[in-house]
């Protein structure tokens, strides 16, 4: 993703965001969303480190589900499942670029997945816990409506953030009809074949997501608030690159 302005400007903006993070009162479902700042965070600078498949451990996918193609992490999408980071994280920043290779592709990045949620998962299953940052292609909405005859009003394809299973999160508005998901306040994701840029900031049980340079969704009062990062395989080929993380106090 091309950063606008100088790297110094981006760094200042990121620092301002970190400093303001703790002072901003938590949003409540139904609150009007404030004007949110744009951010350009490329994952370079002190404390940032790159992640490759060497930093992940298999959970319930096939040996060939995940592979490295140069600097790109490639996922076949088969079977449904996850690969998890070898390390647990609590407070951190995460940068990742992703793209779907087919229309309607589905994937995600799990935050704070626990040992319990990952234990004894069989191929075809996803963790029943953690906070998911959705990675979904626009074509999925049309496929869902065609297959079910229902309106796709309970999800979007632009960066939903939501708790999985028994996990908890108070979503930032706007929220899904059932009040569980934080819907993005702007639709900024690009379609399949194009790279998207996610910047995630997770501090003290609060998650914020920037899509292609602009903050759009998130939530607070997350439980759990420590655990593994997981990349999701969910039926369609998807690629990730420039995966970088920085731990925070």
Q: Looking at 2-11, 136-145, 166-175, 198-207, which range is the least confident one?
A: 2-11
* 8 Å CB contact between 204 and 223: no
**Res 7: pLDDT:** 34
pLDDT band at 180 (very low <50, low <70, confident <90, very high): very high
What average pLDDT score do residues 131-138 get?
99
Hey, what domains does the chain have and what are their CATH numbers? 36-247 (2.60.120.560)
Minimal CA–CA distance to 195: which of 238, 154, 150? 238
What is the rounded distance in angstroms from the CA atom of residue 236 to the CA atom of residue 231? 13
N-terminal to C-terminal alpha carbon distance within the chain: 27
C-alpha to C-alpha distance for 233 and 5, rounded to whole angstroms? 35
**Mean confidence (pLDDT) of the chain:** 89
Return the percentage of the chain with pLDDT > 70, whole number: 84
Output the pTM of the full model.
Answer: 0.85
What's the pLDDT score for residue 57? Answer: 98
Q: Answer for the pair 182, 159: CB distance below 8 angstroms, yes or no.
A: no
What is the per-residue DSSP string for 201-244? EEETTEEEEEETTEEEEEEEEEE--SEEEEEEE-SS-EEEEEEE
Q: Are 179 and 35 in contact (CB under 8 A)?
A: no
Q: Which helix (H) or strand (E) holds 140?
A: helix 139-148
pLDDT tops 90 at residue 59:
yes
The pLDDT of 166-188, averaged and rounded, is: 98
Helix (H) or strand (E) holding 95: strand 92-100
- Average pLDDT, integer, range 221-240: 99
Q: Residue 99's pLDDT band (boundaries 50, 70, 90)?
A: very high
The pair of structure tokens assigned to 134 is 């959705």
Distance CA 166, CA 223 (A): 9
| Average pLDDT of the segment spanning 188-206 | 98
Q: Verify cis geometry, omega within 30 degrees of 0, for the bond prior to 224.
A: yes
**CA 48/CA 11 separation, integer angstroms:** 13
Determine which helix (DSSP H) or strand (DSSP E) holds 168, and give its type and residue range. strand 168-171
Average pLDDT over residues 85-113: 99
Q: What pLDDT shows up at residue 35? A: 54
Q: Which residues pair with 36 in a beta bridge?
A: none
pLDDT in tens, 7-52: 333 433 343 343 333 434 444 443 434 555 565 798 999 999 999 9
């Amino acid at each position: 993703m091309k950063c606008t302005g100088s790297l110094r400007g981006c760094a200042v903006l990121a620092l301002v965001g970190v400093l303001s993070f703790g002072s901003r009162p938590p949003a409540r479902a139904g609150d009007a969303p404030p004007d949110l700042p744009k951010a350009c965070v490329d994952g370079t600078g002190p404390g940032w480190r790159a992640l490759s498949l060497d930093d992940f451990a298999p959970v319930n996918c096939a040996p060939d589900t995940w592979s490295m193609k140069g600097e790109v992490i490639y996922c076949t999408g088969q079977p449904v499942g996850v690969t998890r980071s070898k390390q647990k994280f609590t407070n951190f920043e995460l940068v990742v670029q992703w793209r779907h290779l087919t229309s309607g592709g589905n994937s995600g990045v799990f935050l704070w997945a626990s040992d319990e949620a990952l234990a004894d998962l069989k191929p075809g299953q996803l963790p029943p816990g953690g906070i998911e940052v959705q990675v979904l292609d626009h074509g999925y909405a049309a496929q869902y409506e065609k297959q079910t005859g229902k309106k796709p009003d309970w999800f979007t394809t632009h960066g939903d953030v939501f708790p999985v299973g028994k996990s908890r999160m108070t979503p930032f508005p706007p929220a899904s009809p059932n009040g569980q998901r934080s819907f993005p306040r702007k639709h900024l994701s690009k379609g399949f074949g194009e790279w998207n840029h996610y910047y995630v900031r997770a501090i003290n049980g609060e998650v914020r997501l920037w899509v292609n340079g602009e903050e759009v969704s998130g939530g607070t009062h997350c439980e759990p608030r420590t655990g593994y990062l997981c990349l999701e395989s969910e039926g369609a080929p998807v690629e990730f690159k420039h995966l970088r993380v920085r731990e925070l106090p």
